[in-house]
Amino acid sequence: MPSDRGALTTAPAWRLAELIRRREVSPVEVLDAHVARLDAVEPHLNAVVAERLDDARREAHAAEARARVSADPASLPPLLGVPCTIKDFLAVRGLPWTAGLHARAAVRADDDAAVVTRLRAAGAIIVAKTNVPEGGMWMETSNPLHGRTRNPWDPARTPGGSSGGEAALVAAGASPLGLGSDIAGSIRIPAGMCGVIGHKPTELLVPNTGHWGASTGEAERMLCTGPLTRCVRDAELVLELIAGPDGASRTTRTLAPREPALDAGDLRGVTVVPLLATGRIRIAPVMRAAVARSRPAARPAATSTPRPGSGCSAAASRPGWARWPAPAPPTPTTSPPARRARSPTC
> Residues 65-94: what's their mean pLDDT?
97
User: Is 50 within 8 Å of 86 (Cβ atoms)?
Assistant: no
Which residue of the set 26, 142, 163, 186 is catalytic?
186
CA of residue 251 relative to chain centroid, distance: 20
Residue 162 a catalytic site member: yes
- Rounded-to-integer distance, Cα 213 and Cα 223, Å: 10
Predicted pLDDT of residue 233: 95
User: Is 201 within 8 Å of 224 (Cβ atoms)?
Assistant: yes
Strand stretches in the chain, DSSP E: 48-51, 83-87, 125-130, 142-143, 147-148, 177-182, 197-198, 224-229
- Rounded-to-integer distance, Cα 315 and Cα 324, Å: 18
Q: What is the pLDDT of residues 27-66, one digit of tens each?
A: 999 999 999 999 999 999 999 999 999 999 999 999 999 9
Predicted pLDDT of residue 214: 67
Tell me which of 266 and 340 has the higher pLDDT: 266
Q: Is residue 257 pLDDT above 90, yes or no? A: no
Predicted pLDDT of residue 300: 61
Nearest-CA neighbor of 44 among 156, 192, 138? Answer: 156
Burial class (CB in 10 A: 0-12, 13-18, 19+), 168: buried
Q: Is residue 298 pLDDT above 80, yes or no? A: no
Predicted pLDDT of residue 38: 98
Predicted pLDDT of residue 290: 87
Rounded to the nearest integer, the mean pLDDT of the chain is 86
- Rounded-to-integer distance, Cα 104 and Cα 127, Å: 21
**DSSP output for 196-246:** -EE--PPTTSS--TTBSS---HHHHHH-EEEEEESSHHHHHHHHHHH-S--
User: Is 343 within 8 Å of 194 (Cβ atoms)?
Assistant: no
Spell out the domains of the chain, with CATH numbers in brackets.
Answer: 5-255 (3.90.1300.10), 261-317 (no CATH)
pTM to 2 decimal places: 0.84
Residue 71 makes CB contacts below 8 A (sequence gap 6+) with: none
Which residue of the set 26, 87, 129, 163 is catalytic?
87
Q: Hey, CA dihedral for 67, 70, 71, 77, is it positive or negative?
A: negative
Q: In b/e form, how buried is each residue of 205-227, taking b as 16+ CB within 10 angstroms?
A: bbbbbbbbeeeeeeebeebbbbb
User: Is 9 within 8 Å of 33 (Cβ atoms)?
Assistant: yes
Q: Is residue 303 pLDDT above 70, yes or no? A: no
- Rounded-to-integer distance, Cα 55 and Cα 308, Å: 50
Residue 51 makes CB contacts below 8 A (sequence gap 6+) with: 127, 128
Which residue of the set 26, 129, 142, 162 is catalytic?
162
Burial class (CB in 10 A: 0-12, 13-18, 19+), 156: exposed
User: Is 107 within 8 Å of 202 (Cβ atoms)?
Assistant: no
The total of other beta-carbon atoms located within 10 Å of residue 66's CB is: 16
Residue 87 a catalytic site member: yes
**DSSP output for 36-75:** HHHHHHHHHH--EEEE-HHHHHHHHHHHHHHHHH-S-GGG
Residue 200 a catalytic site member: no
Residue 187 makes CB contacts below 8 A (sequence gap 6+) with: 163, 180, 181, 198, 199, 200, 224, 226, 228
Q: In b/e form, how buried is each residue of 171-191, taking b as 16+ CB within 10 angstroms?
A: bbbbbbbbbbbbeebbbbbbb
